[in-house]
Amino acid sequence: MSDEKPAEKSVEQRATDQSPENAPEALGEPGLEVRAVGERHGMFGVKGSGDTSGYGGLVAPVVLPGAAQRPYGGWFDTVADVLDPLIEQVVIHRGEITFHVHPDHLVEVARKLRDDPSLRFELLSGVSGVHYPGDTGRELHAVYHLMSFTWNRRVRVEVAVPDSDPHLPSLVPVYPAADWHERETWDMFGLQFDGHPALTRILMPDDWPGHPQRKDYPLGGIPVEYKGASVPPPDQRRSYN
């Protein structure tokens, strides 16, 4: 029996050895390509704060599903045909479709989704921010969730911008319901929605420093009192590292 230790796997190799709940085969999507955009250490991936989760030694790849190829199937192709010149890539994962577009094309894509008679996505139900520090040049993502009442269909539109220039156009002129969603995404992630009528904080105080849901935001906080006992903030609790 050899005493040699097995060679440590690279991030790319670990990306193919995903946890069972995220494995393409477990989702009925064998052969789905994934793209590694970083590596998470600990439960939350933060640095500079004590990890009190007990999972300080956890190391896991951060992976994104790769681009799908035509035909996408069913009405997915109907939507793609209208947006085709404006799409960077299409991702189909867990039976849902996401159209990745450049920020310069975001408003035009939104107008086509809303106004084209074959699409009619009347409702923008939410805007979500995501921070991938390892996705170089595309660290901040904005994800738009749209629904068509006419056709009973749902799609996502995703835009990525760099940390160094987190600007993208506001969709409030196209979908007024984006107003408070874009304010929350700015508040939590620092995405700048140019043209928004009042891009101010909506959850945190106006003088709050930074954007709390970014991966590089330190785990801190204030003590919490509960029935006479005081629970210290995460950065002051016992560390299990």
Residues 179-214 pLDDT 10s: 999 999 999 999 999 999 999 999 999 998 899 999
| Residue 157 lies inside a defined structural domain of this protein | yes
| Mean pLDDT, the chain, whole residue set | 85
Tokens of 123: 């409702």
Sorted by sequence, the CB contacts under 8 Å of residue 208 that are 6+ apart come out as: 201
Query: Does any domain span residue 202?
Result: no
CATH number of the domain bearing residue 102: 3.30.460.80
Q: What is the pTM assigned to this prediction?
A: 0.80
Segments forming the whole domain that contains residue 136:
74-181
Distance CA 79, CA 120 (A): 10
Residue 87 lies in a domain: yes
Q: Which two tokens stand for residue 164?
A: 């160094």
In a domain, 130, yes or no: yes
Assigned domain for 223 exists: no
**Domain annotation covers residue 20:** no
Let me know if residue 29 belongs to a domain.
Answer: no
Report the DSSP pairing between strands 192-194 and 167-169: parallel
Residue 78: pLDDT above 70?
Answer: yes
Number of folded domains that form the chain: 1
List Cα–Cα distances, 218 to 4, 25, 209, 241, in angstroms.
39, 36, 11, 16
Helix (H, G, I), strand (E, B) or coil at 21: helix
Distances (CA, A) of 155 to 82, 161, 181, 228: 14, 20, 17, 48
Tell me the pLDDT tens digit for each residue of 93-144. 989 999 999 999 999 999 999 999 999 999 999 999 999 998 999 999 999 9
Helix, strand, coil fractions of the chain, as percent rounded to 5: 20, 30, 50
Under the banding of pLDDT at 50, 70 and 90, the label for residue 19 is very low
Give pLDDT tens digits for 40-59.
Answer: 887 777 666 666 677 778 88
Decide if 128 contacts 106 (C-beta within 8 A).
no
pLDDT over 80 at 24, yes or no = no
124 lies in some domain: yes
